[in-house]
Each structure stands twice: as C-alpha cells, then as structure tokens.
Structure 1
C-alpha cells in the first residue's frame, strides 16, 4: 500500500472517481472529477484519506450512512450522494450516450428523467443475526458487512415507516442470514423472505403468522415463494388495471419512472392496432397499452403470466389482451409470427434481447420501443435493429435508482 495525492479526472461506470496516472487508472470511491485527494492506494484501488481540494460539483450527502465515514461503514446502496444534481443528471445521460457510441450509434438523447428522494417503492434488505443481535440493512460496498439502517432518503415514506414491522418479521424468521424483498403496494407491503436455508417448520410459520397479525400495513408475507399469511392481496395499478403481485414479483423501482416509461411507449406506438409486449412481466406496459390497442403479452414466468391474465380478464374498458408463456431467450418470436403486429415493446432483463432483436430486424413491424436497464446490452440490441433497417428516433435516460450509477433507457424506433 502506498499513499499519494491524485486529481480525479472522470467518473467510471460504477460511479467511482478515476485518476489517470503513469501506471494506469486508479479508481477512488466517493470522489468526483475535479477533486484533489490524498489516497491510500492498493494496485488500482484508492481509499480517500483526505480531500485537498474539492470538486465544484461536490455537495453535502443527505444521508448519515453515505461515504467512508458512514455510521457502521458506508452503505452500499448509494454511490453518488455527494454529486450536485446537474452534474449527476449529465453523468446518467452520458452513461447511455457512451454505451451507444461504442456501437457507432449517435441518436438524439433526451435529458435524463430525474429521480427524487422518497420515491423508491421496492428494496432488498439484507438480514444478519450476530451474537444474538438482529441487523437489517444494506451491504457495505464490496463486502459482506451489513450496515444497519437508521435513515434512508431514497425510500418512500410509507415503506421506511414500516421498518419496525420488518424487523419484527425478520426476528420471527429465526435464521442467521436471509433477505427481505419488500414492495410497497396500494394495499400494504408485500414482504418476501428469500434465501432462508431449510425453510420454516410449521411451528415457526404459526409464530410468524401471529406476529404479522399484530402488525398494520402488511399485505402479505411469503417465505421462499410460499405464502405464509396474506391479510389482503397486494395490488398495483397499471393504468386502471389492478394486478395482484405474485410473491417476490419484479416491479419497477419507482412508480414515477414506470409512468414515464409507459407514457413514452404509448406515445410512440400511436395508432397501432396490434402490439406485442415481449418480456411482459406482470403487465406493467401491456395493461396500459391495452387502453389504445390489442396486446399480445409474452412472458416466461408462470406466476407473472397468470397475474397478468387475471388482471386483463377482470378489467373493464380495455382492448383484448392475449397472454403467452414463452422463454424468449430460447425461443424468440420469429419474424413470421410478428407480421400481424404494428408495434413491439420489449423490456428484457440485463442480458438484453439479442436473439429476439435479430428476428425483429428481419420483421416488417413498423414501430419498436426498446426499454432497458443496461445501456451496454441496449446498445448491442439497437445496433442489430438499425442494421436491419430501423431508425432510432430518440433515447431517453430514466433515473429510478437515485444516487447509484445504474440508469434505465427508453429507445423508440421506426422501420425505414
């Protein structure tokens, strides 16, 4: 280990400051371009010892758990609380632009749709029991150390206010290590206990049920996918269609970002009569688009398919929604199957939709909306589509993971 003074020149993809020296780049967490910092260096990693000259974009972090001096260690949930909002928004936009440019794509990139404090409705807590004490919080970056959370400005007030209830549920699980996947719904919190080794005995399930019955605001608790107690079905509203969430179901992190992504998609498909929604999940976009077009929704997860289908069948005022369970990674929709579609919307996992995009590139679908949480795989997929004759109208960065390096994006394309 050596100590040296560095001037930070850029931000890396993970939000670490980067100094470029004679021996290559040095990555320094919690630093910003323009900072001059004294660091303890080990190979290409630097730890801030002191800040000699701060960046003009440096601001006071709003959370006590942020940074190397956070309470009990730095919470790994945020990496950019110390960055002023204008520079932060540009960083998110530039992350998308750089990924697209790496594939030779230079479309119009709109300003970043901003996230704000108090919007996150879905979080994953880590729970550990050490020496009889229960710890619930988030892992310190790059470690297995759990930072107990006493405040969290990204969470919705309704979610964070239930932390005592979540601690009671965690205590009743009587295990040393697991996760709580928590989603705030219209009817209360959906709490999914995951990674509980050995499951739960009947006696433990009864004990957990007794605890939840005394708590307010808990819609459901499940353990490793098994529903233990469901005082009320957890529901989300997608454009007037109410969907009952399967245990631990994927949802967008914030309702505000979800609404904006849906708005962009619906605006682009315009007067399309038939739309395919690929990687449809529980119907986040399909059920909203059904207000203006017939939708064929394709998803691999059986429980998500059933939830989507049930919501579609029980919602008035929407056009027909057909549902298909299908693994699009192994069996993408072929160009011949897409010939009846006027538009396609796809929102795949981080791996993207490479094989599906190859079929789309061969298709005659007029309009495509590509939604992605990974700019690199989005760039690859868009390059396939543009090589097949599609033109990118615009790309909009969507920030729903506040103060993290992660960014969503919505790209709109037209054939010809």
Structure 2
C-alpha cells in the first residue's frame, strides 16, 4: 500500500481532520485544517499519518496521556479556532435541518475543571488500572494526571484506585462516578463484584482515609461522612449517588444565566427534564415553577432542597416519563415559558406538543446539536421564531457541546 499526500481542509464532528479527494473524504486522526500529511489510506482513513506541513494553530498537548487517551481529542488545537469549531458543530446541525441562523460565539465554561468524572477501573494481572479507554480501543489508560478535571479529583486518584481494587470483579470493568461537591468528593461505584458486602467495614475505613463525603456501591450508600452538597444558586441540594449534574460549575452558572435571561419576566414556568432542579430552583426566585422529571432520585433530592429553601415562589413537581407521556397542549397553556433540557436523545414528543401550544417563550437546552436541531425544526414549523442559539463549552478538548436556544411565538 503506497503512501499518499493529503491536504486537510476541515475538522469532522468528532475532531478528526478531513481531506477531500476525488475518491471521497479521508479522515486523518490528529490533523488540523491546512496541514499537509503523508499516509497510507485504507477504508477512508489515513494510517500512521506524518505531518509534513503543520498548521499555525497547532499546539503542544497539555497532558502526557494525550496520544493514547480517548478522553480528549483536540488538545493540539489553539483555543480560538477550537471554540469556533464548537460553534460550527451547532451551526452545521441546524443547517442540516434547513435552519440557517447566526449562532452566537461559543462561551468557554471550563474554568475550574470538570467537577464530575466517570472513570473506569479494571484488572491487569495483579495491578488495577483506573482511567479512560484508549482512542478507538477497549484498552484502558491508567491515568496519573488529567488537566480537564477539578484538581480535587486528580489528587484523589491514588485513593480511588485503591478503593476500586477492593471491589473489582474478576472479569470486566467497573465504573466510578466522582463528583466534587462543596463538602468533599461523592463516589458512586457501579458494576462492583457481588461479594462487596463482606468488605463494607474496609470500604468504610477507606472512605474516611481518603476523605470522601460519601461512598455508594451498586446503588447502596456504604458510608456518608458528610452530605455531599451542591450549591444551586444559593440553595443547598444533596446530590443523588451517581446522579446527573453539569460537568463544570462554570457551565451550570452560564447555562442558568442564559435560561434566566431567556425566561425574562415570565410568571409561570414549566421546567421539563428538570433533573435535581438546576434551573427550577433558580427560576423559582421570580416565577411560579412546575418541575417535571422521570428520575426518582433526582425528584427526591429536589423535594429535600425545597423543604429547606426560603424566598421562593410557588414550586410544584411531578415524576413523569416525558418520552412516554409528554405534557400535552392543554397542560402547557398554563405556562408563560417552558424550559426543556433532555438527555442526548432530545425531546421530540415534547417538542411536538409544544409546537401545538400557545406558550410564549421556549428555552431549549441540549447536549446534542443533532437532536436539538430536530426539535427546533419541529417548533419552527409550528410557528415559533428562533431568537438566539448560544453554544456553551464545558467539555474542554472534546467534541461535546451544550447549547441554549430561545424561541418565541409572535
């Protein structure tokens, strides 16, 4: 197989360089627009590419694990073009649905590092590996550092590895969800060995030694030294074990600011896919809020936060699967504004009902540009007008991007 010279013209949605050729696109891992590379080509991919002409936007990666680790994909790209690429991910997704709109510049919300990390642990002989999978591989990178994480999580890596080694299954992997809270680290281990129960005393001691706020294994709270608290705009909320939170505090604050600004002076707001109340608790300082969420643990945490909160308007909530039972048009008419922040699958069924409603303002928050564009298309076809789309980057060096879209009915 002979080598070919390729000129990279753009970045794909996963961060690979793309060279356009007469035989179709060729994906070049690690290459940047404007670079000339030499490589063998197989099945549309460049193998072992050698960069002959580097881009002026190329930077030295900030992590020693970068070449192998699959956790990051764009540490080698300068910040300005990186943020522009993130904006383009949203712009292109909208365009694919026939929505031509001037998307705002990406807001970088990565300060402080990710406070939430999902790590994997496995056995390698007598050793325990803890980290992320290699790029395009099931092998695990045993990380010693991670510049995108909160320093408190990085400092705890040796202790977390020791903890994982106690409950590793004989075969396979386990997952550790680590959350940095105001009272310490909250660790939830999933897929642990079924015999972990006989090790509970030792696990409890390690929890104290490491200084964790709480340890949960396979859904069971082993020890809570201190309630793991999150600050939701001045309201304390105890995190659910392994529950969802925005990856960085900066992103939570930025997304909340955009939602609050979009809701404006609305007096009655529905917060759909509300989670533990990231937006609902903040919105309730100025509006009556109805929160809807399908996860029982998230609803329970929200309820406890409400019981200790003061100075809020009327807040109601319900547990409801919005994929199976979206709020229908007649239910929606009670609200001036609706916020929805679904998982990656989006909110198609709910968007279809919203498109039939007379709700004045809709705020769509999304972590997936493709499903966001699909849902916005439904709303626009139903008569809504897109006012703004703002990308928010909280997953530094990755292809993931959040966005907040504001729509109004004229």
TM-score normalized by the length of structure 1 = 0.95
Could you give the per-residue CA deviations for residues 167-189 of structure 1, whole angstroms, max 9, x where no partner exists?
22112224342111111011111
State the alpha-carbon separation in 1 of the partners of residues 195 and 324 from structure 2: 35
Aligned positions of 1:176-255 closer than 5 A: 176=170, 177-197=173-193, 199-216=194-211, 218-255=212-249
State the alpha-carbon separation in 1 of the partners of residues 284 and 307 from structure 2: 12
Aligned positions of 1:295-334 closer than 5 A: 295-334=289-328
Aligned positions of 1:33-48 closer than 5 A: 33-48=33-48
The answer to whether the Cα contact below 8 Å between 2:168 and 2:192 also exists between their aligned partners in 1 is no
Aligned positions of 1:278-297 closer than 5 A: 278-297=272-291
Could you give the per-residue CA deviations for residues 97-136 of structure 1, whole angstroms, max 9, x where no partner exists?
0111111212331110014464211111110111101111
Could you give the per-residue CA deviations for residues 238-281 of structure 1, whole angstroms, max 9, x where no partner exists?
11111111110011101101111110111111111110000000
State the Cα distance separating 1:350 from its structure 2 match.
0.6
Counterparts in 2 of 1:161 and 1:121: CA distance versus 1, 3 Å? same
List gaps (5 residues or longer) in structure 1: 68-73
Q: Counterpart in 2 of 1:56?
A: 56
The answer to whether the Cα contact below 8 Å between 1:128 and 1:178 also exists between their aligned partners in 2 is yes
RMSD: 1.3
Aligned positions of 1:90-169 closer than 5 A: 90-116=84-110, 118-169=112-163
State the alpha-carbon separation in 1 of the partners of residues 38 and 399 from structure 2: 24
Could you give the per-residue CA deviations for residues 156-177 of structure 1, whole angstroms, max 9, x where no partner exists?
1122111122122112224342
Counterparts in 2 of 1:133 and 1:123: CA distance versus 1, 3 Å? same
State the alpha-carbon separation in 1 of the partners of residues 351 and 133 from structure 2: 36
Could you give the per-residue CA deviations for residues 125-153 of structure 1, whole angstroms, max 9, x where no partner exists?
11011110111111002111111112211
State the Cα distance separating 1:213 from its structure 2 match.
2.2
Counterparts in 2 of 1:149 and 1:117: CA distance versus 1, 3 Å? farther
Q: Secondary structure at the match of 1:200?
A: helix
The answer to whether the Cα contact below 8 Å between 2:110 and 2:251 also exists between their aligned partners in 1 is no
The answer to whether the Cα contact below 8 Å between 1:117 and 1:153 also exists between their aligned partners in 2 is no
List gaps (5 residues or longer) in structure 2: none
Q: Counterpart in 2 of 1:394?
A: 388
The answer to whether the Cα contact below 8 Å between 2:9 and 2:18 also exists between their aligned partners in 1 is yes
Could you give the per-residue CA deviations for residues 35-78 of structure 1, whole angstroms, max 9, x where no partner exists?
111223321122334210101211111111112xxxxxx10000
Q: Counterpart in 1 of 2:20?
A: 20
